[in-house]
Chains A and B, each alone.
Chain A
Amino acid sequence: MKKKAGFLFWCGVVYLVGLLLFAVFGPHFRFSWEAQVASPMLPPFGTHWLGTDELGRDVMARLAYGARLSLIIGFSVQVLAVAIGICVGVVGVYGPKWLSTPLMRFTDGMFAFPDLLLAVLIAGLFSMGLVPVIVALAIGSWPSVARLVRTQVASLKDREFVVASQAMGASTPLIVVRHILPHLAGVLVAVMMVDIAATILAESTLSFLGIGVQLPEASWGSMIQSGNANKLVNPWLLLWPCLILSLTVFALNFVGDGLRALLDPKAKEA
């Protein structure tokens, strides 16, 4: 019985599409995101729909720019984590015993890696920017993907079509790529959606610690951080990025849940 995707799923999809458009066109829509066009700290609902920030820049345009950066960060981290996770997870099932057992144990150990500490430490190595953020967050994310991949592959390994391919003499890498990975894709995409949300949130915590995006660029995390510092003067500056972050996280979660239900109704969780 194929489930019908729910109302919330479609809401999420519409929102995300809207967000993509916002990210592409927003930064230069009515005002440019980096130009100091007006007096600082103007309240919203005027010429500047969401007001201006502490340097007189249009908040809406900056949110759109922030959407770009946050989505890029979220996406790159997850792609990296998934890539590593797939490699490790597949080796964990198909690899020789002497490799796969230590590897999976190592993966379990890596859950304890303090990714935030690492991010602050490596921030000094690269002249600040997105690289330490992406690297550190990816290091924090790949273990759970690896575990998930391993569990899935282990259960898929014994299914009829895989056994059949093996009987016909197909080599292991071929089986993995042609048969197993496509089945994995559904679950992975769904998990990725939800994890992108978590990554964007983690990036905001890193901004709280003072590392991450370079000025004058902005991500939602850095806008939340400066909004937090200025919240007594102008609470709007804190509200807008928090709001758009929350809505995006909700949307990503609904879409992720919907995708999981759609693509693989009998998927077991890791």
Chain B
Amino acid sequence: MASTSRSLVSLFKSISTRLLYGLVSILFIAFVTFIIDEVAPGDAALLELGDKATPQTLAIMRAEMGLDRPWPVRFGEFVIKATQLDFGMSYAGVREPVRDKITRALPTTMQVAFLAICLAAIIGLTLGTISAIRQNKFADRAALSLSTLGVTIPNFVLAPILVYVFAVQLNYLPTSWAPPDRRTAPDIFYLLLPVLVMAARPAATLTRLTRASMIDILQQEFIRLAVAKGVPPFRLIFLHGLRNAILPVVTAIGTSFGFLLTGSFVVETVFVMPGLGSLAIDAVRQRDTPVILATTLVAGVVFVLVNLAVDLILPILDPRIRESQV
């Protein structure tokens, strides 16, 4: 009993430490982003008015956006409001609360990103294992090349090609994503291409990682011992091999979420998905500071939570880690 409560306490402590570090990191990132936005020439008012700006109109617009206040005030206010989940008003476009923009964009991106990571994990584990088993044979080379292919063509070239072939010419798939209430076909039609394109890069990374990890495990002594003892090879691969090899892969899955913002905007542009990535890039282009900060914060929080989950799952998968953590 005592040890259970002790490990629960230490679990709680480690979760809170991680959360704390995570939040501090995110705040730091947000601050750096804010300072750079401050220092860079131009601002949201100038970009909205463009070449028709005059000193008078600029002054009016800046007053309306609240840009005429000193920067510590603006950043401080943003942070304080952010803790209450109020991110202020967007500078660009229709003046609406930033929170509304995020609540619309986040589920769209999360759905596709989550499916993409799952697909990437499945592809990565499968191809990686095949490669490891058939190391240096044709299957290995084929699997590696296939996965590398996923990263060699830039996705802003690949996506339009896929759309042109499958949607425009062959007409099997819709030409773009559509919001759930305007779909006239099962969801999978609308999600297939975006998920595929988003999964390409992580799938390649995970394939390599699985392959290397599995090769490593399979070469270890205890495997050879088990083979010598006559344990059937499939059981070995799946029970022992995969279970051990999966650890760095799970960590890598967590890290891939760091690309949530940056990886998704190309897919979102081509497939007309109003998600977090395109929201962020548009905000940067228009210097819409509240949106820039809010998307950075939200993506950062998602990242911290996902990695926290990974850190919690790892000890369950591998008791050795559990012990080294205590």
Contacts and interface: CB of A to CB of B under 8 A. Distances in A.
Q: Do the two chains touch directly in the complex (Cβ atoms below 8 Å apart)?
A: yes
B39 A144 contact: no
A121 B40 contact: yes
Interface stretch (A49-57, A75-83, A111-119): A111-119
A116 B281 contact: yes
Contacts of B24: 109
A160 interface: no
A120 B22 contact: no
B41 A228 contact: no
Interface in B238-297: 248, 255, 257-258, 261-262, 265-266, 280-281, 284-285, 292, 296
Contact of A121 (B36, B141, B149, B265): B36
A242 interface: yes
A109 B304 contact: yes
A112 B151 contact: no
Contacts of B37: 121
Contact of A117 (B25, B216, B292): B292
A182 B61 CA distance: 59
B21 interface: yes
A6 B136 contact: yes
Nearest to A210: B285
Contacts of A121: 33, 36-37, 40, 284, 292
Contacts of A115: 262
B118 interface: no
A179 B144 CA distance: 33
A249 B148 contact: yes
B74 to A, nearest CB: 16
A189 to B, nearest CB: 16
Contacts of B113: none
Contacts of B154: 201, 204-205, 208, 221, 224, 242, 245
A180 to B, nearest CB: 21
B42 A124 contact: yes
Given A102-B21, A110-B25, A246 B40 contact: no
A109 B29 contact: yes
Contacts of B109: none
Interface in A93-120: 102, 105-106, 108-118, 120
B36 A105 contact: no
Contact of B21 (A8, A109, A112, A125): A109
Contact of A114 (B41, B149, B257, B261): B261
A117 to B, nearest CB: 5
B300 interface: yes
Interface string A202-216: 001100110000000
Interface in B208-244: 208-209, 212-213, 216
A41 interface: no
Contact of A105 (B25, B153, B209, B296): B25
B299 interface: yes
A247 to B, nearest CB: 8
A108 B255 CA distance: 8
Interface string B133-164: 00010000100110011011111110010000
Contact of A109 (B26, B33, B261): B26
A244 B264 CA distance: 25
Contact of B303 (A112, A125, A140): A112
B18 interface: yes
B153 A246 contact: yes
Contacts of B151: 197-198, 201, 249
B22 A109 contact: yes
Contacts of B153: 242, 245-246
B278 to A, nearest CB: 12
A120 B29 contact: no
**Which of B26, B39, B160, B258 has most A Cβ within 10 Å?**
B258
A125 B22 CA distance: 29
Interface string A139-171: 010001000000000000000000000000000
B90 interface: no
A118 B25 contact: no
B33 A112 contact: no
Nearest to A115: B262
A124 B40 contact: yes
Nearest to B265: A116
B136 A249 contact: no
14 contacts: A108-B22, A108-B25, A109-B300, A110-B25, A110-B29, A113-B258, A114-B33, A116-B261, A117-B296, A121-B36, A125-B39, A125-B40, A204-B154, A246-B149
**9 closest pairs, A vs B, by CB?**
A109-B25, A111-B258, A124-B40, A105-B21, A246-B152, A112-B303, A116-B262, A249-B152, A112-B300
Interface of A: 6, 8, 102, 105-106, 108-118, 120-122, 124-125, 140, 144, 197-198, 201, 204-205, 208-209, 221, 224, 228, 238, 242, 245-246, 249-250, 253, 257, 266, 268-270
Given A117-B261, A250-B145, 7 more contacts: A110-B25, A114-B33, A116-B262, A118-B33, A124-B41, A198-B151, A268-B216
